[in-house]
Amino acid sequence: MTDYVTVTADHPQLQSDLRALVRLSIAEDLRNQYDWTTVCLIGEERNGGCQVVPREAGICAGLVTVPWIVDEFDGDLQVELLCDDGDPLVPGQAIANLTGNVRDLLTAERTILNVLSRLCGVATQAFRYSEVIADFKTRLYDTRKTTPGWRLLEKYAVVCGGGHNHRLGLHDGFLIKDNHLALGGDKNGPMKTSDAAEKALLWRSAQVDAMTAPPIVEIEVDSLEQLADVLPIGPNIILLDNFKLQDLSTAVKLRDETNPAVELEASGNVRIDTIAEIAATGVDRISSGALTHQATWLDLGLDWFDASTT
């Protein structure tokens, strides 16, 4: 199996990205001032507690970030996580306890819910898609169609929902698209898919000693003719862009006859109601931007309980 890096909770950049977003959230809410409503109405020494509670069913993602968020707010708070990322969410069943200074709780409340609602929504979307193709060999992948600044977090959520990660960015994989072919050509027309793939493979090979080139070469084709041209060159993955179902089946047969080591990835027009018939064609991978850009926030809330010591 050819694969890119998987974003897990211990990915070295995940916490850093989250903390940067929280600092932006703090700046948006406070602007170096105060939460005036809370300061006005809540005593400085008042302690209390709340639970993060899902209002609807879904998949948990981002719970690992809650201690990081609290730490970035520099709040006098304790966090108790009651489930794991990837677990199913039951409406009304708490997933975390937060206790401590009520002022700090109220100030951090919205940021915590924003992060969790977004990531749980992405995980739930990925789970729904992956469940539809669970009986096929085909693997489900995300794309780079992510919210700016949220890429690793959203890709982490996709994994929590049972999906797989496509490349994290432009830096960790060759992905030759139609624009590369058009702009890499000359007055005689676009560059051939076989020429582009061969150039990328040779480039990668030349960089191996320096460990600077990414290991995967993938190329996008939009016709069976392009596929036939590039298959003998042997890129790791060939992306079949907006192929009709019959052409996807033909592409799989052609691959099996020509170069079985190459993985085929279907993309384009992938929806919850089309993904099963795409998987049934025998492709190895399906990638869909809908996992992130069409995901709906999951409804989460904070339910308060009395933990006052004053």
Domain ranges of the chain: 14-129+296-305, 136-293
- Homologous superfamily of the 14-129+296-305 domain (CATH): Quinolinate phosphoribosyl transferase, N-terminal domain (3.90.1170.20)
pLDDT at 212: 67
Q: What's the pLDDT band for 190 if we cut at 50, 70, 90? A: confident
pLDDT digits (tens, 9 = 90+) for 237-291: 999 999 999 999 999 999 999 999 999 999 998 999 999 999 999 999 999 999 9
Q: What is the dihedral of CA 241, 245, 246, 250, to 10 degrees?
A: 50
What is the arithmetic mean of pLDDT over 15-32? 93
Rounded to whole angstroms, the Cα distance separating 66 from 278 reads 37
Output 210 or 300, whichever has higher pLDDT: 300
Contact predicate 111/125, CB 8 Å: no
b or e along 90-110 (b: 16 or more beta carbons within 10 Å of the residue's beta carbon)? eeeebbbbbbbbbbbbbbbbe
Domains 14-129+296-305 and 136-293 share a fold: no
Q: Which entry of 177, 192, 199, 204 is annotated as an active-site residue?
A: 177
3-state helix vs strand vs coil in the chain, percent to 5: 40, 20, 40
Q: Does residue 163 carry a pLDDT above 80?
A: yes
Closest by CA to 175, choosing from 152, 144, 205, is: 144
The reply to whether 204 sits in an annotated binding site is no
pLDDT at 116: 98
177 catalytic, yes or no? yes
Q: Which entry of 55, 110, 244, 253 is annotated as an active-site residue?
A: 110
What is the arithmetic mean of pLDDT over 186-208? 83
The reply to whether 229 sits in an annotated binding site is no
pLDDT at 210: 55
Output 157 or 44, whichever has higher pLDDT: 157
Q: Which entry of 229, 241, 247, 299 is annotated as an active-site residue?
A: 241
pTM over 0.85, yes/no: yes
Greatest Cα pair distance, the chain, in angstroms, is: 81
80 catalytic, yes or no? no
The reply to whether 9 sits in an annotated binding site is no
The reply to whether 288 sits in an annotated binding site is yes
Q: For domain 136-293, which architecture applies?
A: Alpha-Beta Barrel (3.20)
Rounded to whole angstroms, the Cα distance separating 183 from 180 reads 5
pLDDT at 185: 73
Contact predicate 123/158, CB 8 Å: yes
What is the arithmetic mean of pLDDT over 143-154? 96
The reply to whether 145 sits in an annotated binding site is yes
Q: Which entry of 19, 128, 145, 204 is annotated as an active-site residue?
A: 145
pLDDT at 215: 83
